[in-house]
A and B are shown apart, each in its own frame.
Chain A
Amino acid sequence: MLKLFAKLQDALAPRGSTSKDEAKKRLKLLLIHDQVNLTAAQLESMKAEILTIIKRYCEPGEAEEVELRLQKEGGEVALVSNIPVRRVTGGAAPA
């Protein structure tokens, strides 16, 4: 009976992130990186470099808020980014 109750509870509970969700997420990322041969560390350093350029023109959100990742759609891999902007500073046009 207790087992049945646990099962019911489990079935009715809102599904959070299960270990299989985690596995799938890790796997997808792994396969993309395998395909393009770009490590997570390289992606981080690319993100830092992009941010230094952006900072010349505007004030982006904190590094943790800035998103830069590889995404696979069909057979194509895309670089997807989402950069919140606090304030546009104008900045100097390159010489």
Chain B
Amino acid sequence: MAECIVVTSGKGGVGKTTTSANLAAGLALAGKRVVVVDADIGLRNLDVILGLENRIVYDLVQVIEGECRLKQALIRDKRVDGLFLLPAAQTRDKAAVRPEDMQRLTAELKETHDYVIIDCPAGIEQGFKNSIAGADRALIVTTPEVSAIRDADRIIGLVEAHDLPEPDLIINRYRAGMVERGDMMNREDILEILAIPLIGVVPDHQDIIISANRGQPVVFNEDSIVGQAFRRITARVTGEEVPIPAFDGSNGVWASFKRMLGMAHAQEAV
């Protein structure tokens, strides 16, 4: 049974596109047939994160307007079997697509793929409405900041108002050192406020920027802690139970010493 998952956040710049790209690539690595759809009409970026920008021929709007067949617009990623991108149009705007179009499109994609991942644009307007129209479930991306969490709270309400099941949360750009010093909200703080299940924590790390520079999703890099985090998220999305580590080196010597002295504060050992 195929599933359509929308990746959304409300606020821009929190990591929706990076999450969409890595979740899709991670699912493909796990042997699934996946298509990731860039729903940010007019501001496409997913193609660049995936390193597929030079292979675009047709786009989502052309499919909807019947200028080409759906299959012609899908770009096959040659690095991993079963990964496809449906790029957004760059020269059109969000008004070119209606929620009914997205419903039809995602239904068609679900016939030939195990997962359809929708990369939702920022905001709560047309682009958001289009993105959630065909979705079966939602993943909310946030960062440990007041503005991002406020917007996430708003989006969670809107997702539930659209009759989707309770969404899952991804906390992105987590900095364990700052959390330990009390300068960043920890996962309990965030979960206390947003009150939805946590499906992953992604550490803030230079690997994200390096992989974006190269157009290589970090999930391909088994040695990267960010790549590993996305692999775990992928597994949880498919229903596997994988624990979420603390990213604070809480298995190290210094942490054991602190725990011994009862000094481990504000940091959970998972």
Contacts and interface: CB of A to CB of B under 8 A. Distances in A.
A31 to B, nearest CB: 5
Contacts of B181: 10, 18
Interface stretch (A21-29, A52-60, A82-90): A21-29
Interface of A: 10-12, 15, 18-21, 23-24, 26-28, 30-31, 34
Those 6 A-B pairs whose CB atoms lie nearest each other, nearest first: A18-B182, A11-B263, A27-B146, A19-B183, A20-B185, A23-B146
A89 to B, nearest CB: 43
Interface in B239-270: 258, 261, 263, 265-266
A23 B179 CA distance: 12
Contacts of A24: 185, 189, 193
B193 to A, nearest CB: 6
Contact of B193 (A10, A20, A27): A27
Contact of A34 (B145, B154, B185, B266): B154
Contacts of B146: 23, 26-27, 30
A3 B149 CA distance: 33
Interface string B165-187: 00000000000000101111110
Given A27-B149, A34-B153, A20 B184 contact: yes
8 contacts: A11-B261, A12-B263, A19-B183, A20-B184, A24-B189, A24-B193, A27-B149, A34-B154
Interface in B60-104: none
Nearest to A24: B189
B44 interface: no
Interface residues of B, number: 20
Nearest to A16: B182
Contacts of A11: 258, 261, 263, 265
- B145, B185, B261: which has the most chain A beta carbons within 10 Å? B185
A34 B153 CA distance: 10
A75 to B, nearest CB: 9
A32 to B, nearest CB: 11
Nearest to B185: A20
A27 B182 contact: no
A21 B154 CA distance: 21
Given A11-B265, A27-B193, A34 B182 contact: no
Contacts of B110: none
Given A11-B263, A23-B146, A31 B153 contact: yes
Interface string B188-206: 0100010000000000000
